Chains A and B, each alone.
Chain A
Amino acid sequence: MRAADGPVVLAACGVSKRFGALVANEAVDFDVRAGEVHALIGENGAGKSTLMSLLYGLMHPDSGTIAVDGRAVRFSSCVDAMKAGIGMVFQHFLLVERFSVAQNVMLGREPGRRGMLDRRSSEKEVARLATGYGFALNPATPVEDLGVGARQQVELLKVLERNARVLILDEPTAALSPQEASALFDIVHRLRSEGRAVILIAHKLKEVLSVADRITVLRRGKVVGSVEPEQADEAQLGLMMVGRSIDLDKRVPRIGAPADVALRITSLDVPASSGAGLHGFSLQARAGEIVGIAGVEGNGQIELAEALYGLREPTAGAIALEGRDITSMSCANRRRLGVRYVPPDRQREGLVLDFSTEENALLGDQRRLRRGSVIPAKTMRRRADAIAREYALAGYSPSVKARDYSGGNQQRLIVGRELSEGAALLLVCAPTRGLDVGAAAVIRERLRAARDAGACILLVSYDLDELRALADRIIVLCGGVATGELTPENADDATLGMLMGGIAA
């Protein structure tokens, strides 16, 4: 790491932004120099995205100024920001699925003559750019056929094609495997050495410490401080972010020994939807145990979880829960037996965003808890109140729509609901993805408590630290096949990486 000494290219000087009563940014000073990676960290709702929207011209500050190369500017939209050499890669990619890589990169500035597109020259241009950065992308491939890592490279190319001097990366590693993330950081270093300025919004402190030249922490809309990674560690950053110390990845030993085998999976085959499918998978898991499932995204994890939950029909094999065969039982009936699911996509699978909090608190149990044919209004309300209390749901009222909560609060609501009456088998997918330290700590603590209360938990996660912190043993999936089983103590990155890549350890 070296402190960058290039000129300041983009700066926010004393910017404030309010939304009604909510102060999203208050007198924030933030700048980035050429040839520097400046990381911005903070909890969900700390004001990171607001600050980036101000820098990128999506919103105007109520007070304070944005300056490019030391001159105050007023962007009327992000088009102006792009013209000033600022590019942003959003956490949720903005790509046209049906378009090819080249079409996506050149969108809005396609080369051509007299209204006719020149496909060849745009593909050539994109291929040149991609090879320059070592991306293995075929410009003619439709984006819908690409994985998460490759899609991100397309987003990066979009920004680089416009020759951006400042790149804003919003949680770029949230959806990446460790290998993809480290490849991304190589590119970030490369961009820095080209003299570009990079603003990195991130949650994972370890990553931030290894890649950034300077780290600024936001809390409740204000800058808490800026540090250089040499003078900081994770505990200190965590303290700055939340205002109290949290050791997220510490292992907490379980209370008591695991009981009898609760879940017995015998040579299960599940057809794929987009990933690898699952082939001949067997597992025995005990009550009071967390079994971690590691693997690069799309290697059969979702097929496994959904087959266990009853949303996907296995073509062979058997599933037994507490000695009872549930292989072809419906999802609703499995829920009656205590099968619970925290799905990977909380907004589209875990919640009905336009339902109120109390309606969401009932979701999945509406039939089990009904009174005749009527919704159990009191139970529903009591449940929502209890979740809000136990999980400290910020801004709670029974009638608030799920859409209006932050990501962390949405996940608290889902986990709270799925654990509200105890679970026999709890399936959890990427439970803390994109969550800040505070919310992640709450979720992990609750999962441990559910295990200690006797639940059998299957934890699918793409965050190896999370697996090591929570799981009692880790099974690695590659291409839909179990390639190994490790204890968390033996599961170092290298071993896991090899198993995840299908190389026997």
Chain B
Amino acid sequence: MNRLASSFAAAALALAAGALAMLAFHADPIAAYGALLQGALGSVQGTAETFVQTTPLLLTGLGVAVAFRAGLFNIGAEGQLVVGALCSAVFGAWVHLPTLAEIPLCFAVGAAAGGLWAAIAGWLRARFGASEIITTIMLNYIAFLGANYLVSGPLRGSNAAPETAPISPSAVLHPLVSGTRLTAAFPLALIAAAALAWWLRRTVAGYELRAVGQSERAARYAGVNVGPAIVRAMALSGALAGLAGSTEVLGLLHRFNAQLSPGYGFTSIAVALLANSSPLGVIVSAFFFGLLQNGALFMQAYAGVPKDLVSVVEGLVILFSAAGMLRSARGRARVAVGPEGGVGTAPT
């Protein structure tokens, strides 16, 4: 409950600080946020587009969150998304199957590719103790530059532009509502969040993953094979990011190019932080960020506030979320020197 309140406080403070910044530049924050909301939720098209923006943030946010729950900091969601998208696009262009077989296979390929890419960092961590923070950042560069090379060379389609050949028509996810870009990817992402919440809470593998994240040592004493558990957690995290890449390819672009993601994988870190790594919380926080991103252009057009202000708000969310976590950690430390742990529960 407390954590929920602190997440909402972080979001509210970030919006308030954004408003202060607007005031400093003589813009009207009420008009600006009004325009942002109007753009993001004021019409069927706008609302649908907000869900479109939410989808990849939700999937990558789940990925980062599950890594957090295992005590791992996956900064590489963006790279895993790119690898998943590329493999999905190549596979989708290469095979021609009935839609009901092809689309799930394309998703599977994207998830597997993202998962394998992240598992490299997991393995390096488990085998050599290499910090996954560093290795996932480095794997990001390899993914970006490698993908760039492949689409300008070996995997380039017939087109002059550096992009892959279009996927076969049977791999295309069509809009659910005509006149919008909203596809079945959004409900699928919601299902993924619910499934992940259940998996973490109720399965033995999820239990062990959380145990490793809370206390690697205690998990080892409980007979958990910690190394493989870390590799599995990273693979799951990367698979979710890879899935996000697949949805972009199958639903929106129908091919792969380097402009596929405006940085969903990086924003997803803020998404997971704000949600305090709870899968159901990620739904809310991904929607919040999707709304900001989608409304930003409208805000720029109708209130004259540059859309980059949204990036400022996003950064502030990270800052305030982190500050909230520090505060609760310090509160705990203070209780620990308090009344000998109490007879029953420690006072809070």
What residues of chain A have their CB less than 8 Å away from a CB belonging to chain B?
17, 19-20, 22, 24, 44-50, 53, 58-59, 220, 309-311, 330-332, 334-335, 341, 343, 348-355, 359, 362-364, 366-367, 370, 373-375, 377, 394-396, 400, 403-407, 409
Since A355-B214, A395-B344 are in contact, a sample of 13 more A-B pairs with Cβ atoms closer than 8 Å, ordered by chain A residue number, is A22-B339, A24-B338, A309-B221, A311-B220, A311-B221, A348-B215, A348-B218, A349-B218, A363-B211, A363-B218, A395-B343, A404-B342, A409-B344
B204 touches A19 (CB 8 A): no
Given A19-B347, A348-B217, A404-B346, A47-B223 contact (CB < 8 Å): no
B218 touches A352 (CB 8 A): yes
Question: Which residues of chain B are near A377, meaning CB under 8 Å?
Answer: 202
A165 to B332, CA, bound (A): 31
- Name 27 A/B residue pairs within 8 A (Cβ), A-sorted: A22-B343, A22-B344, A24-B340, A24-B342, A45-B339, A49-B340, A53-B338, A311-B220, A330-B225, A331-B220, A332-B224, A334-B223, A343-B221, A348-B217, A349-B218, A362-B207, A364-B222, A366-B222, A367-B204, A373-B203, A373-B205, A375-B204, A377-B202, A394-B343, A395-B342, A400-B345, A403-B332
Question: Does any Cβ of A come within 8 Å of B104's Cβ?
Answer: no
Min distance, Cβ A334 to any Cβ of chain B, angstroms: 8
A49 touches B225 (CB 8 A): no
A332 to B224, CA, bound (A): 7
B341 touches A44 (CB 8 A): yes
A220 to B342, CA, bound (A): 10
The 10 closest A-B pairs by CB, nearest first: A395-B344, A19-B347, A332-B223, A45-B343, A24-B339, A406-B341, A364-B222, A49-B340, A331-B223, A404-B345
Residues 225 to 239 of chain B near chain A (Cβ within 8 Å)? 225
Question: Which residues of chain B are near A24, meaning CB under 8 Å?
Answer: 338-340, 342
A352 touches B202 (CB 8 A): no
User: B interface, how many residues as a size bin?
Assistant: 20 to 34
A366 touches B339 (CB 8 A): no
A364 touches B347 (CB 8 A): no
Q: Which of A335, A363, A406 contacts B343 (CB 8 A)?
A: A406
B204 touches A366 (CB 8 A): yes
Q: Which of A310, A331, A396, A407 contacts B341 (CB 8 A)?
A: A407
A221 to B280, CA, bound (A): 43
A332 touches B225 (CB 8 A): yes
B223 touches A330 (CB 8 A): yes
Question: Which residues of chain A are near B222, meaning CB under 8 Å?
Answer: 363-364, 366
Question: Does any Cβ of A come within 8 Å of B314's Cβ?
Answer: no
Min distance, Cβ A221 to any Cβ of chain B, angstroms: 9
Question: Which residues of chain B are near A44, meaning CB under 8 Å?
Answer: 340-341
As a 0/1 sequence over residues 314 to 348 of chain B, the CB contacts with chain A under 8 angstroms (1 = contact) are: 00000000000000000010000111111111111
Tell me the nearest residue of chain B to A48, going by C-beta: B340
Question: Which residues of chain B are near A46, meaning CB under 8 Å?
Answer: 340
What residues of chain B have their CB less than 8 Å away from a CB belonging to chain A?
202-205, 207-208, 210-211, 214-215, 217-225, 332, 337-348
A467 to B215, CA, bound (A): 31
B340 touches A349 (CB 8 A): no
B221 touches A364 (CB 8 A): yes
Question: Which residues of chain B are near A362, meaning CB under 8 Å?
Answer: 207
Question: Which residues of chain A are near B204, meaning CB under 8 Å?
Answer: 366-367, 370, 373-375
A80 to B207, CA, bound (A): 46
A60 to B204, CA, bound (A): 45
Tell me the nearest residue of chain B to A354, going by C-beta: B214
A90 to B225, CA, bound (A): 35
A374 to B205, CA, bound (A): 8
Tell me the nearest residue of chain A to B204, going by C-beta: A370
Tell me the nearest residue of chain A to B212, going by C-beta: A352
Q: Which of A58, A331, A359 contacts B337 (CB 8 A)?
A: A58
B337 touches A53 (CB 8 A): yes
Tell me the nearest residue of chain B to A397, going by C-beta: B345
Given A351-B218, A363-B218, A19-B203 contact (CB < 8 Å): no
Given A47-B339, A331-B223, A395-B345 contact (CB < 8 Å): yes
B344 touches A19 (CB 8 A): no
Given A350-B218, A352-B218, A366-B208, A45-B342 contact (CB < 8 Å): yes
B342 touches A22 (CB 8 A): yes
Which of B204, B210, B340 has the most chain A CB atoms inside 10 A of its CB?
A: B340
Tell me the nearest residue of chain A to B218, going by C-beta: A352
A19 touches B207 (CB 8 A): no
Question: Which residues of chain A are near B210, meaning CB under 8 Å?
Answer: 352, 355
Which of B222, B225, B346 has the most chain A CB atoms inside 10 A of its CB?
A: B222
Question: Which residues of chain A are near B211, meaning CB under 8 Å?
Answer: 352, 355, 363
Min distance, Cβ A432 to any Cβ of chain B, angstroms: 16
Min distance, Cβ B202 to any Cβ of chain A, angstroms: 6
Given A341-B221, A355-B214, A373-B204, A19-B343 contact (CB < 8 Å): no
Question: Which residues of chain A are near B214, meaning CB under 8 Å?
Answer: 352-355
Question: Which residues of chain B are near A309, meaning CB under 8 Å?
Answer: 221
A422 to B221, CA, bound (A): 18
B203 touches A349 (CB 8 A): no
A302 to B338, CA, bound (A): 31
Min distance, Cβ A408 to any Cβ of chain B, angstroms: 9
Question: Which residues of chain A are near B221, meaning CB under 8 Å?
Answer: 309, 311, 341, 343, 349-350, 364
A59 to B334, CA, bound (A): 10
B207 touches A359 (CB 8 A): yes
A375 touches B343 (CB 8 A): no
Min distance, Cβ B222 to any Cβ of chain A, angstroms: 4
A373 to B199, CA, bound (A): 10
Tell me the nearest residue of chain B to A56, going by C-beta: B337
Min distance, Cβ A348 to any Cβ of chain B, angstroms: 5
Tell me the nearest residue of chain B to A336, going by C-beta: B223
Min distance, Cβ A241 to any Cβ of chain B, angstroms: 14
Min distance, Cβ A497 to any Cβ of chain B, angstroms: 31
A501 to B342, CA, bound (A): 39
Question: Which residues of chain B are near A404, meaning CB under 8 Å?
Answer: 341-342, 344-346
B202 touches A47 (CB 8 A): no
A403 to B340, CA, bound (A): 12
A349 to B211, CA, bound (A): 11
Tell me the nearest residue of chain A to B223, going by C-beta: A332
A475 to B210, CA, bound (A): 39
Min distance, Cβ A394 to any Cβ of chain B, angstroms: 5
Min distance, Cβ B208 to any Cβ of chain A, angstroms: 7
Min distance, Cβ B230 to any Cβ of chain A, angstroms: 16
A22 touches B223 (CB 8 A): no
A341 to B346, CA, bound (A): 27
Question: Which residues of chain B are near A58, meaning CB under 8 Å?
Answer: 337
A139 to B110, CA, bound (A): 59
Question: Which residues of chain A are near B219, meaning CB under 8 Å?
Answer: 352
Which of B203, B207, B332 has the most chain A CB atoms inside 10 A of its CB?
A: B207
Min distance, Cβ B188 to any Cβ of chain A, angstroms: 22
B339 touches A49 (CB 8 A): yes
A366 touches B343 (CB 8 A): no
Tell me the nearest residue of chain A to B344, going by C-beta: A395
Tell me the nearest residue of chain B to A221, going by C-beta: B339
A415 to B339, CA, bound (A): 24
Question: Which residues of chain A are near B337, meaning CB under 8 Å?
Answer: 49, 53, 58
Question: Which residues of chain B are near A348, meaning CB under 8 Å?
Answer: 215, 217-218
